[in-house]
Every structure is written in C-alpha cells, then in structure tokens.
Structure 1
C-alpha cells in the first residue's frame, strides 16, 4: 500500500514536470519591453482659425510583450498611456484650454490597450521591420472607442520601436474643440497623433 502511494506521488510529480517543461518555450520566447519616456516622441497636431498647432506628451508609459520565435513576431500585449496634463504646446493659455476640454480634473490619462493584431507583414528589403495594424480600445476624457492603430514595428539591438500616425476627431470622444478670445479663435475638430516611441 505504501509503495503504491509512493508510485502515485511520483507519477503526479512527473506529470507536473512535463506540463511545466511544455510551457517553458513559451515563457522563454515571449519578451516584455517597457516604454522609454526619455526617447522617442508622441505629438498631437491640429488646426485652428488662427494657425496650426502642436502639443508634445512629456509623460508617457507602457509595455509591449513580443514573441519573436516565429517567422513573424507575435504581439501578445500592448498598452500605452499618456498623462493628459503632460501635453505641452509651449503656450500656457492653450495648454489650459486643452486641459479644460479634456476634463483632466476627472480624467488624468489617455490610454490605448490592444485587443488583437489585425494584420502584420514584413517591410520589403528591410530586416526586422514590419507593418502592423492593431485593434484596441482608446480612452480619451472618459470616452472609450475601438480603433485600428497602424504602426511600423522595428526590432533592433534589444529595442522595439513603434512609429506611425493616427487621425482622430475630438467630437468622437465627446470633446468640444477648444475656443479662445471669446470664441473668435476656434480649434478644428480633426487632430492627428504622431508617435515615434522606443521600448526597452
């Protein structure tokens, strides 16, 4: 009876070991990278009745998990966060209007979180560079929408680089385009987000 119990215990340990070893290649091949805030840039551009404008995000964070063991890299997860009040134009009055429009008192962050990769393909004649379209949720000022985010993914010397641009409409996120000088200057509804980010 005692030897039978020992045999059962050994068999259970063997099964657990086999299961752990089968999961090991997945754990080894998937690597996680963190966004490096000090490198790269995220910029929002737009128009107004007076002049074009741009704002740069000074505080951004995020993580991406990649499995690069196959013919094409597999993006397991991607999350990107911008602190709303870190958007700076170099003009205090404009920044103040931006934060008011974004309601930053209640909504501190702008967040994109990937749900799935819609497409990925290698860039012709360029090694370790891929065209990607990722579908995910983008939350701005408390409103969340599902969007397709296009970018170029480059793998280089332990770094991941994501570069692209995405047009949006403020009113899609229930944001009233900011106005200035008693409404005589009006901001255009359409904006464009430009991103050139480095992940380590």
Structure 2
C-alpha cells in the first residue's frame, strides 16, 4: 500500500512539474499612441509566446504586419515607419525575478527582466505583470512603455502634429500547458 501511495505521489509531482511550461499562439497585443489632442491604439491577436516556470523564462514575439489600428492608411504608414519588410518582428525574452512555481488557482504579480527587440535594436527592460493559473493554463497580463527613439524609429508627423515618443504596450494571453 505504501508503495502505491509513493508511486501516486511521484506521478502527481511529475505532472505538476511537467505542466510548468505554457504556450500561446493567439495572445493579444495592444499599443496606445498619442498625438496632440488625440490618441489612437493598435492591436493584434497574433502574439506567440512561451512561459516556463520551471526554467524561469519567458519569450514572446509578434509579427508587426498583424498590427491594426482600424484605419488602413494609418496601418500602411505605421508599417512604413516601422520598416516591417526589413524588421518584421518585435520580441521580448526575459527571466522571471525570481523564478517560482504556481499551482492551479494561484495568482502572482511578476517582474520580468529581459531584452525587448524591435527595429533591429535590443534594449534591456523590466516588465511587470500578473500570472493566474486557471484550469486551461496560465492567464497572463503585462504592460510597459517604450520610447521610439530608443529603437531608432522616427515618429511620423503631419504638419505640426507629431506622434509622441512614448508608446504604451500591453499584452494578454491564455497560455496552454506545453
């Protein structure tokens, strides 16, 4: 009887450990941009990513061609400014500070240190967010701000109206066990 309980305990522990890596292919990204007297946003539902609680790592990327603002001309201008033909992706790779384990039902605020890459430039940043271990997997939310000039991106302008340097980025995703 003890050996059966021991075997079941080992099985449960291994299931918990093996389910500590999670994937998404349809997370959402949103950015908020400002111009004088106006703001606009863009979004995509094509965020790809992986969170490994076991390794304490995260990796998310987005095809910038999938970002939409709701206005076709603005989308075209945005892709031109971001030079998406030459630099099609934005990516964040980082480590959880500190690494930890979650159990079903747990919720935890997280801080991730890593590198955000866009437009051929890599910058070290810290991102704050939250993880919730739900029945389906992990629910993730995170947000951070970038400055376009940090990535050698010249904000577009129309006459005296110029897009603000600061862009607020937020991501949301349900990640399924790997």
TM-score bracket for this pair, using the shorter chain length = 0.7 to 0.9
Picking from 28, 33, 41, the partner of 1:46 is 33
SS in structure 1 of the partner of residue 109 of structure 2: strand
Verify the 8 A CA contact 1:140 1:173 in the aligned structure 2: yes
Partner residue of 2:81 out of 101, 107, 123: 101
Which of the residues 157, 160, 170 maps onto 1:194? Answer: 170
Q: What corresponds to 1:11 in structure 2?
A: none
TM (norm. structure 1) is: 0.72
Deviation track 1:161-180 (CA, whole Å, cap 9, x = no partner) reads 11121111111111111123
* Secondary structure at 1:146 match in 2: strand
Report if aligned partners of 2:127, 2:144 keep a CA contact under 8 Å in 1: yes
Aligned length: 160
TM-score in terms of structure 2 length: 0.81
* Segments of 4+ moved more than 3 angstroms: 25-28
Structure 2 unaligned blocks of 5 or more: 1-12
157-166 or 141-150, which moves further after superposition?
Answer: 157-166
**8 Å Cα contact 1:120/1:130 also seen in 2:** no
How far residue 27 of structure 1 moved from its aligned partner, in angstroms, is: 8.9
The more displaced of 25-34 and 58-67 is: 25-34
What is the SS of the residue equivalent to 1:153? strand
CA–CA distance in structure 1, aligned partners of residues 35 and 96 of structure 2: 34
Structure 2 distance, partners of 1:85, 1:36, is 15
Which residue number corresponds to residue 5 of structure 2?
A: none
Counterpart pick for 2:72 among 75, 88, 92: 92
Q: What is the RMSD computed on CA atoms of the aligned residues? A: 2.3
Match of 1:146 among 103, 124, 135: 124
Q: Residues 53-99 of structure 1: CA distance to partner in whole angstroms, max 9, x if unpaired?
A: 100023221111223xxxxxxx5321101101111001111111211
Q: Secondary structure at the match of 1:58?
A: strand
Uncovered stretches (5+) of structure 1, i.e. residues with no partner: 1-24, 68-74, 122-126
Q: How much has 1:159 moved relative to structure 2?
A: 1.1
The answer (yes or no) to whether the contact 1:30–1:65 under 8 Å persists in 2 is no
- Please identify the structure whose Cα radius of gyration is greater: 1
**CA distance in 1: counterparts of 2:150 and 2:168, whole angstroms:** 13
